[in-house]
Amino acid sequence: MSQSWALRCQILSCTSQPTDDSGWFYHSDGLIWVVDGLIKRVGSYSDVKNYLPSDIRIKHKPEYLLIPGFVDTHVHYPQLEMIGAYGTQLLDWLNRYTFPVELKYRDYEYASKQAVQFLDQLLANGTTTALVFATSSVNSVDAFFAESLRRNLRMISGKILMDRHAPDALCDTAQSAYDDSTALIEKWRGQGRLGYAVTPRFAPTSTDAQLDVAGALIKENGDAYLHTHLSENVDEIAWVGELFPEQQGYLDTYDHFGLVTDRSVFAHGIHLSDAEMQRLHNCGSAICHCPSSNLFLGSGLFPLKRLQQMGVNVTMGTDVGGGTSLSMLSTQGDAYKIQQMAGHLLKPLEAFYMATLAGAKALGLDDRIGALVEGYEADMVLLDLASTPVIEERMKRADKIEDVLFALSILGDDRSIAQTYVMGESVL
């Protein structure tokens, strides 16, 4: 039977990269009609009501704001259990906290249990699509995909490729990385709404032979993504220079192996040269800004203005467990604070775009998610504009939607998520 429902509330969405007066819409009295998991109509209440069948009951929530589901383009599901680990920067943090945790994900039952918890929390924070690191274990990927498929989620993940500079029990080889990744792609391709990402952890933990394998996997599987880290930490960058002296920098190391494409998402990108930014733009690759992680690990101030001037698509990620929250609302707030330190004013609609449609664009999914547009999948979030007494009081003084957005990014968190919808079905 056809599933059809309608909701009357405030509605906000980007339709392209926003300016002050284009690329987005807001209806203070909006109406959305969902049929079989897809958006049938959306617009002002006065317009859309005329298209609805007479037997549909319209839910009315005038003090709530409907937006597209958030798209988190860099997060580690095994690291949720080590979030908030104290007192170290990136390279020491990996050895002290991350690698010991990831060893546990060789056990399928353990990985499955943690995948359930991770996805529960992701949806509780209004994120409906994510680009997700698993571990080097095949079981960690299988467990994550199985749980995502059960929930009909649009999720992208992949096995970490890592054949050096990590505990032996976490390392694979160039050949096993190829064999395991190929088998996983064949197993999960076409299953539900899942996608596969070839995932070298970062250049220092892969040999030339393994990065060559990653390039081969990308070339052989046109529907696969490339997901890795880039230029997060100055010590990391120096290490890449020592390990790959023949290449002209960090990005060129990936480029040499065919890993810089229009389906590549690089997390962080804090310390990039203008030439590297230009190359990213030319190739259509995206940079995922992970502000809470950058602050927590002391990695640096993200050069958003320069990247925008170079025409690079910048998305947003929570990067848990370096990041300190799965909330894309509070992550936008941290992005604002970093730009304040960098002398650049991040507008609320810019941050909102980075957390929704820009992520969908980076994943080649902006024809079906990331916006509230007729024909798109109804992955959506309903925000409570009075979720806490402080937010309720603040909203009394918000005279336009940009101010509402900004207040939510500074004051909001999972308590602001009233409802999360996946293909039109309430999952929260």
User: For 235-264, what is the mean pLDDT?
Assistant: 97
Q: What is the pLDDT of residues 359-400, one digit of tens each?
A: 999 999 999 999 999 999 999 999 999 999 999 999 999 999
Report CA-CA distances (Å) from 304 to 219, 274, 287, 329: 30, 12, 10, 18
In 123-167 the beta strands, taken as DSSP E runs, fall at 127-133, 154-158, 160-161
Sheet (strand 425-426) strand order: 38-44, 24-35, 4-14, 58-68, 380-384, 417-422, 425-426
Dihedrals phi, psi of 218, to nearest 5 degrees: -65, -45
**Pair of tokens at residue 363:** 């994943």
Look at residue 1 and tell me whether its pLDDT is greater than 60. no
Q: What token pair was written down for 111?
A: 């990985």
Compute how many other C-beta atoms are within 10 angstroms of the C-beta atom of residue 345.
10
Q: Are 79 and 365 in contact (CB under 8 A)?
A: no
Give the distance from CA 16 to its chain's centroid. Answer: 18
Question: For position 90, what pLDDT does the model report?
Answer: 77
Tell me the pLDDT tens digit for each residue of 150-183: 999 999 999 999 999 999 999 999 999 999 999 9
pTM across the whole model: 0.97
Grade residue 2 by pLDDT with cuts at 50, 70 and 90: low
Distance between CA 104 and CA 95 in Å, rounded?
A: 15
Checking if the pLDDT of 127 tops 60, the result is yes
Q: Which of 290, 353, 301 is nearest to 324 (CA)?
A: 290
Domain boundaries, the chain: 4-69+372-426, 70-362
- CA distances to 7, 18, 133, 213, 319 from 125, rounded to whole Å, are 21, 24, 18, 36, 14
Domain made up of 70-362: CATH architecture:
Alpha-Beta Barrel (3.20)
- How does residue 87 score in pLDDT terms, banded at 50, 70 and 90? confident
The structural architecture, per CATH, of the domain 4-69+372-426 is Roll (2.30)
